[in-house]
Amino acid sequence: MPHEIDGISLEDAKLNLKELARSCQVSHEWIIEHVQCGVLLNENIDEDPAKWIFDSHSFIRTKKILAVERDFECNPELAGLVADMTEEIALLRNRLQQLEMNKD
């Protein structure tokens, strides 16, 4: 029995609301709530959610926020803060590695 694989390159990902919700296995309402709370951003700031476009960063951030909410049973704002902090830590670690590499 053949299986279909529905995939996209994350680097080039441009997802609408429906695609992001399906990819992350959440409802449209979940995405809308998190955009309205300010923890998820879309490239196209528009009143109409059907016109929203999300990039690969939004996809990855959605997955992080979803995991934090499920693991710690917290609200969107706290999950967004945790995602912000983990992104900042990753950025600082990368900068530290670059400084260490340049030092040699």
Whether residue 76 contacts residue 33, with contact meaning beta carbons closer than 8 Å, is answered with yes
Q: Which whole-number Å values give the CA distances from 93 to 44, 88, 89, 96, 100, in the listed order?
A: 30, 9, 6, 5, 10
Instruction: Give the CATH number, domain containing residue 48.
Output: 1.10.1660.10
Q: What is the pLDDT of residue 11?
A: 66
Q: What is the pLDDT of residue 4?
A: 53
Containing structural domain, residue 16: 12-103
In a domain, 30, yes or no: yes
Q: In angstroms, rounded to a whole number, what is the distance separating the alpha carbons of residues 84 and 103?
A: 29
How many domains does the chain fold into? 1
Q: What is the pLDDT of residue 13?
A: 78
Give residue for tokens 């680097």.
11
Q: What is the pLDDT of residue 103?
A: 82
Q: What is the pLDDT of residue 8?
A: 53
Q: In angstroms, rounded to a whole number, what is the distance separating the alpha carbons of residues 92 and 16?
A: 31
pLDDT tens sequence for the chain (104 residues) = 555 545 555 567 799 999 999 999 999 999 999 999 999 987 777 789 989 999 999 999 999 999 999 999 999 999 999 999 999 999 999 999 999 988 86
